[in-house]
Amino acid sequence: MQIISCFCNSVSGIIYRVSMLILNKTAGVFFKPSKRKVYEFLRSFNFHPGTLFLHKIVLGIETSCDDTAAAVVDETGNVLGEAIHSQTEVHLKTGGIVPAVAQQLHRDNIQRIVQEALSASRISPSDLSAIATTIKPGLALSLGVGLSFSLQLVGQLKKPFIPIHHMEAHALTIRLTNKVEFPFLVLLISGGHCLLALVQGVSDFLLLGKSLDIAPGDMLDKVARRLSLIKHPECSTMSGGKAIEHLAKQGNRFHFDIKPPLHRAKNCDFSFTGLQQVTNKRIMKKEKEEGIEEGQILSSAADIAATVQHTMACHIVKRTHRAILFCKQRDLLPQNNAILVASGGVASNFYVRRALEILTDATQCTLLCPPPRLCTDNGIMIAWNGIERLRAGLGILHDIEDIRYEPKCPLGVDISKEVGEAAIKVPQLKIEI
């Protein structure tokens, strides 16, 4: 109703002002207005190209790891402007992220990226409702650049500030692309994180399990490095995970047999270090057999990629299966049509998505994943998290005196011990892709 009356008011306002222009024209005082004037005129009706009215608008800034990203998003989920600078190629050359290098690259690019996102949005910074920035968790040096830039901007523009938890933003992205109500289960798998959580509200999470060591993306990056995939003509500019996915398509996953990790622990925790070590041993053995040195490409690289990808997917599916059963057993999720959301860089992997789909089909759930470019780090998810918090009235700060970044920060209330104590046995599920 509010929208309809707002629409009517604005339309009658437009008719009135257009009539005034025509009257002025007939009175001989009409002149061709500049583009800027036209835009200001349209904005006076809350008009924006692609939307009809200005809603709440948030600028989101992300620098928690190796992407400098910014976006302007409105309340209805319209992405008004977006820009990103990825450091992947630089870090590929150094064989991993060097924090001081990441920091310098963020410093070199943040001003330009934020400016590009704002210019693309064609709104004036004064029209922003708030500025939202990732302040936790992440690399300290990287977080610091985004935070100090944002605080300066907040001070200049006199706008509210919304500190963002990077993983909360990954979890809520799906509500920008799909109509998803709370509660839902979320699986966040990326280069720095791996967790399963029940999302009950914008900032209301129950943590069911997490990685006990490294994240799956980190494991894939390490395996890709050990296989020297940067020297592979088809993969030289791809992140480790993407390179593994690409090569795996040409490989045979039955070539090796690696047992999925933690198969005896009846909880929802993950582990990937063992998988990485076993894979390293295989690679060393193969190098000997093929008579090649470390740093050269193995002829069986695609088979190794296929095996590691499959084993990782099976492990992820099994832990997620237990999380679904636990939530249903405790009535935390509906028995039918519960939603499983998968996000984070590794969730852009189509083999993993297909494996999760086999799971959701078997458990009467629905799998939803943001499009791949919104699974990896981006500014849109941060701006959207800002909108979600603005709408819920949560964590909107007008005083920015004591804000600090937090490199480590858990997500939600940790009930993983309770999940382990329930010791739910997971039925066998064939992952045949």
Least gap, CB of 255 to ligand KG4 (angstroms): 20
Maximum C-alpha span of the chain? 91
Residue 240 near which of ligand KG4, Zn ion, none (CB within 5-8 Å, type-dependent): ligand KG4
Residue 62 near which of ligand KG4, Zn ion, none (CB within 5-8 Å, type-dependent): none
**CA 250 centroid distance within chain:** 28
Least gap, CB of 271 to Zn ion (angstroms): 20
Which C-beta is closer to ligand KG4: that of 377 or that of 388? 377
Binding region for ligand KG4 (CB under 6 A): 65, 190-193, 217-218, 220-221, 239-242, 245, 344-346, 348-349, 376-377
Residue 191 near which of Zn ion, ligand KG4, none (CB within 5-8 Å, type-dependent): ligand KG4
Residue 348 near which of ligand KG4, Zn ion, none (CB within 5-8 Å, type-dependent): ligand KG4
Pairing, β 413-414 against β 204-210:
parallel
Which C-beta is closer to ligand KG4: that of 129 or that of 348? 348
Which C-beta is closer to ligand KG4: that of 129 or that of 385? 385
Distance from C-alpha of 161 to C-alpha of 132, rounded to nearest angstrom: 6
Element (DSSP H or E) covering residue 64: none
Which C-beta is closer to Zn ion: that of 138 or that of 251? 138
Distance from C-alpha of 347 to C-alpha of 416, rounded to nearest angstrom: 22
Binding region for Zn ion (CB under 5 A): 190, 377
Least gap, CB of 194 to Zn ion (angstroms): 11
Residue 92 near which of Zn ion, ligand KG4, none (CB within 5-8 Å, type-dependent): none
With tokens 């400098």, the residue in question is 68
Distance from C-alpha of 206 to C-alpha of 410, rounded to nearest angstrom: 11
Which C-beta is closer to Zn ion: that of 282 or that of 389? 389
Question: Helix crossing, 350-362 with 301-329: angle to 10°?
Answer: 30
Residue 304 near which of Zn ion, ligand KG4, none (CB within 5-8 Å, type-dependent): none
Distance from C-alpha of 117 to C-alpha of 336, rounded to nearest angstrom: 41
Backbone CA torsion sign across 190, 395, 412, 147: positive
Nearest 5°: phi and psi at 63? Answer: -145, 30
Which C-beta is closer to Zn ion: that of 164 or that of 368? 164
Least gap, CB of 154 to ligand KG4 (angstroms): 24
Element (DSSP H or E) covering residue 285: helix 273-290
